Structure 1
Amino acid sequence: MRQIWKSFRALYFASLMMLIGSGLLSTYLALRLAADHVDGLWVGALMAANYFGLVLGGKIGHRLIARVGHIRAYSACAGIVGAAVLGHGLVDWLPAWLVLRTIVGLGMMCQYMVIESWLNEQADANQRGLVFSGYMIASYLGLVLGQLILVMHPGLGPELLMLVALCFALCLVPVALTRRIHPAPLHPAPMEPRFFIKRVPQSLSTVLGAGLIIGSFYGLAPLYASQQGLSTEQVGLFMGSCIFAGLLVQWPLGWLSDRYDRALLIRSFALVLAVAALPLAILPQVPLEVLFAVGFLCSLVQFCLYPLAVAFSNDHVESERRVSLTAMLLVTYGVGASIGPLVAGVLMKLFGSQSLYAFFTFFALVLVWRIRPKAVTNLHQVDDAPLHHVAMPDSMSSSPLVAALDPRVDEQVVQEQMHSSVNPEPAADADPAAAGDVSAEADAEPAKP
């Protein structure tokens, strides 16, 4: 592990600084609007704009990198993001903030794509899992540290925006000074939405639900905590502990995922989330100890949904389609994360701050209803399924190219899909009755042993 850290420390440091800035910016904007008594709808809209930018960046990033190269694309995006961050301090008009937030999301997605393609290019096949783990740790640690800055600097002045811009300035230094060889040019993998909707609908439903919940959490949990009477320092601690729970749960989750039915685990965790969120959904005010304990428990569970859905879908998709699958999963997540904060913001405005956790409970129950382990047909289960579970970074801190770091994906397939144009054959098995995890007719299909 020490050798891997030494080899990739520059890219890990760049990821760390990016996520410190991103995590701090999200919480700062929510608290800033809360201090100005702005409707929660605007707070949700800002986070929705960020995720819209991330989704948009997945398309634009390939073209930008292909046109000017990895280092120039990364440096340009870091500069644009830093300028957009400082723009929040120069303009108070909220519609302008929506545009700036979209630009931040778009630029960061391009940066993710550069870092992840570089990691994949330099990682040996037998080191891919460790390289991937280091990247995930850097991502989560950055998000946590971004929240803890609020503990050390609780003021909501422009100094915090300067700190965010400083992080994005520092993140470009190790990439700009690297002596490594440029990764090969990128070409986007085909999305094939119709194929995946019919092949892995339960997984996509879980990813959509996770996007709705986690997107709302990042955007509106700081506002919720503020309306519960927490100070800026306490909000930073609350958000930091919740995001740390997401990192802490990944390794126990991998142990469970490799030993038990993944559809059953998704349904069970969704049920636990629905029950755990009830106290915060019902009570308009809760003691500080209860808020931290329940918030930590809810985060332990909610951050399990996306990695489980990724592992579940990979069990039913061939290796040559897994890069495309990851792109489809991240777009689905981005759609949910764009819609969730808007809807939850409206509910908080109409019914009070506790509506945020009521929103979590409702969509967790939707997943309990939607995920049906007995309906899994296994018609397209890969030969060695269930595949070894791989802890995934939060979708707020990854791009479709993160699939290239997944050790379950064959390296030759990765090279073909990332470095050459892909012309997929028509999906001959896209009949609804042939779904891999569930379909409308799945109950009538006998499951393979």
Structure 2
Amino acid sequence: MPSTFTSFSSLYLSTLLMLVGSGLLSTYLGLRLSADNVNAVWIGLLMTGYYVGLVMGATVGHRLIARVGHIRAFVASAGVVTASVLCHALTSSVEVWLALRWLVGLGMMCQYMVLESWLNEQAESHQRGRVFAGYMLVTFLGLGLGQLLLTLMPELTFRHVVLVAICFSLCLVPVAVTRRLHPAPLHPAPLEVRLFIRRIPQALSTIAVAGLILGGFYGLAPAYAATQGLDTHAIGIFMAVTIGAGLFAQGPTGWLSDRIDRSRMIQVNAILLTTIALMIALTSSPLLLMVLTGLFGLMAFTLYPLAVALANDHVDQERRVQLAATLLMTFGLGASAGPLFGAALMELAGPGMLYVFMACSSLLLVVFVRPERVTGENLVEEAPVQFMPAAGNLATSPLAAAIDPRVDEQVVIEQMQDEEPIAEEAVDEDDAEHRPG
């Protein structure tokens, strides 16, 4: 792993800076609006706008990279994101903030796509697993560090916005000064949604519920914690503990899921998550809240990778690129709806309803995800397919499948060929500028 980090240090550093900024911005905006007594529905809408931007950014990112190349696409996207972040300091209009959150999501998805396609281009086949794991580790680390910055700057001022903008500006540097050639352009394979609905309904249901829960958590948990009497310093720790627990859980969960029926693990996970979420909704002790949110992170952040592993067990290797895009879209729909439902319930019946909503969401998995419903008819030969860590928060793009060791490199190349003549011409011209000699 150390050699992997050294080899891909520039790309990992850009990813880390992006996620530090993103994690800090999401929590800061939730706390700022909560402190200003803004309706909880607006807080939820801001997170929904961000996730909608991320989902829409996948299409925009492919077109932009094809037309201007990877470095220019990354620089342009980072510029839009940085300007959007700074615009939060120019106005307090939540309507404008909603549009800005959408722009931030759109630009960040383009940045993710550049970084992931670049990692795929540079990673050797034997490195793919370590590269993917390192990328997920940096993702979790960045999100956690973003929360901890609140403990160093507890006053809710626009200094946080400036710090976020600095992070997005600095993430440009490692990519802009690289001396490597552009990677080959990648284009998404066509989706086969109906096929996946028939073949892996339990995995898709789990992905959607994970989106509901994590979208609600990122968007509204800071505001909920504030209503429980936690100050900004403690809220930063609250969020960091949850995300850190999710990172810690990836290894043990992977070891278990390669040995125990994955649908059974999802069901048990959902039972525990339902219980923990209800306990959080009922507790009033700050210390107990910290303990429970750590347990919540253990369960909530492992639902997504468990569902991805279950889906890969029942989908042929040549369809796993389409599968990755379908799972991302499903998660995005759930993550867009979660903050809205959670915010509406909080406004109607109090802040504790956020975790009641999460408990009801996970309860759906207890009912619908059952091992006896898994026929094994479409089980692939290599099942159980290797478990891989996943952030489960759309901190990746459809191109993340390219560096996933569960997807053969040749399959990626064959299924993600450039089919647009204008794109080929644009990339050829851009490569010509960067060829040595």
TM-score category of the 2 structures, normalised to the smaller one: over 0.9
The aligned residue for residue 242 of structure 2 is 242
CA distance in 2 between counterparts of 1:62 and 1:251 reads: 32
Which runs of structure 2 are paired with 1:106-145 in the superposition (5 Å)?
A: 106-145=106-145
Which runs of structure 2 are paired with 1:389-408 in the superposition (5 Å)?
A: 389-408=387-406
> Could you tell me how far 1:191 is from its partner in structure 2?
1.3
> Could you tell me how far 1:395 is from its partner in structure 2?
3.0
The aligned residue for residue 413 of structure 1 is 411
Q: One-letter code of the match for 2:366?
A: V
> Could you tell me how far 1:375 is from its partner in structure 2?
1.1
The aligned residue for residue 282 of structure 2 is 282
Give yes or no for the alignment of 1:216 onto 2:216.
yes
TM-score of the superposed pair, with normalisation by structure 2: 0.95
CA distance in 1 between counterparts of 2:392 and 2:140 reads: 8
Which runs of structure 2 are paired with 1:143-158 in the superposition (5 Å)?
A: 143-158=143-158
Q: One-letter code of the match for 2:380?
A: V
The aligned residue for residue 81 of structure 2 is 81
- State the secondary structure of the residue aligned to 2:31: helix
Q: One-letter code of the match for 1:296?
A: G
The aligned residue for residue 303 of structure 2 is 305
CA deviation vs aligned residue, 1:307-358 (integer Å, no higher than 9, x gap): 0000000000011110110000000000000001001001001111100110
The aligned residue for residue 60 of structure 2 is 60
CA distance in 2 between counterparts of 1:206 and 1:240 reads: 24
- State the secondary structure of the residue aligned to 1:90: coil
Which runs of structure 2 are paired with 1:134-283 in the superposition (5 Å)?
A: 134-283=134-283
CA distance in 2 between counterparts of 1:62 and 1:334 reads: 18
Deviating above 3 A after TM superposition, structure 1's stretches of 4 or more consecutive aligned residues are 419-422
The aligned residue for residue 295 of structure 1 is 293
CA deviation vs aligned residue, 1:24-56 (integer Å, no higher than 9, x gap): 000000000011011111111100000000000
> Could you tell me how far 1:281 is from its partner in structure 2?
2.2
Which runs of structure 2 are paired with 1:345-384 in the superposition (5 Å)?
A: 345-384=343-382
CA deviation vs aligned residue, 1:291-321 (integer Å, no higher than 9, x gap): 1011111111011100000000000001111
2:188–2:398 CA contact under 8 A, matched in 1: no
For structure 1, the 5+ residue unaligned runs are: 423-449
The aligned residue for residue 312 of structure 2 is 314
Q: One-letter code of the match for 2:312?
A: N
> Could you tell me how far 1:172 is from its partner in structure 2?
0.8
Q: One-letter code of the match for 2:24?
A: L
> Could you tell me how far 1:269 is from its partner in structure 2?
0.1
- State the secondary structure of the residue aligned to 2:44: helix
> Could you tell me how far 1:178 is from its partner in structure 2?
0.6
CA deviation vs aligned residue, 1:130-154 (integer Å, no higher than 9, x gap): 1111111110000000000000011
CA distance in 1 between counterparts of 2:326 and 2:18 reads: 24
Q: One-letter code of the match for 1:310?
A: V
1:140–1:394 CA contact under 8 A, matched in 2: no
1:184–1:419 CA contact under 8 A, matched in 2: no
The aligned residue for residue 51 of structure 2 is 51
> Could you tell me how far 1:415 is from its partner in structure 2?
1.4
> Could you tell me how far 1:3 is from its partner in structure 2?
2.2
CA deviation vs aligned residue, 1:182-225 (integer Å, no higher than 9, x gap): 01112122111111111111110000000000000000000000
1:209–1:364 CA contact under 8 A, matched in 2: yes
The aligned residue for residue 30 of structure 1 is 30
2:154–2:233 CA contact under 8 A, matched in 1: yes
CA distance in 1 between counterparts of 2:400 and 2:110 reads: 12
1:112–1:398 CA contact under 8 A, matched in 2: yes
Could you tell which deviates more after superposition, 271-280 or 242-251?
271-280
CA distance in 1 between counterparts of 2:282 and 2:393 reads: 29
Q: Percent same amino acid at aligned positions?
A: 56
CA deviation vs aligned residue, 1:247-287 (integer Å, no higher than 9, x gap): 0000000001100000000011000001111122234xx11
For structure 2, the 5+ residue unaligned runs are: 421-437
> Could you tell me how far 1:396 is from its partner in structure 2?
2.7
2:210–2:392 CA contact under 8 A, matched in 1: no
2:55–2:332 CA contact under 8 A, matched in 1: yes
CA distance in 1 between counterparts of 2:53 and 2:372 reads: 38
Please report the RMSD computed on the Cα atoms of aligned residues, expressed in angstroms.
1.0
Q: One-letter code of the match for 2:401?
A: A
CA distance in 1 between counterparts of 2:60 and 2:12 reads: 23
Aligned pair count reads 420
Q: One-letter code of the match for 2:319?
A: R
Q: One-letter code of the match for 2:241?
A: S
The aligned residue for residue 100 of structure 2 is 100
Q: One-letter code of the match for 2:21?
A: G
CA distance in 1 between counterparts of 2:331 and 2:371 reads: 22
> Could you tell me how far 1:421 is from its partner in structure 2?
4.1
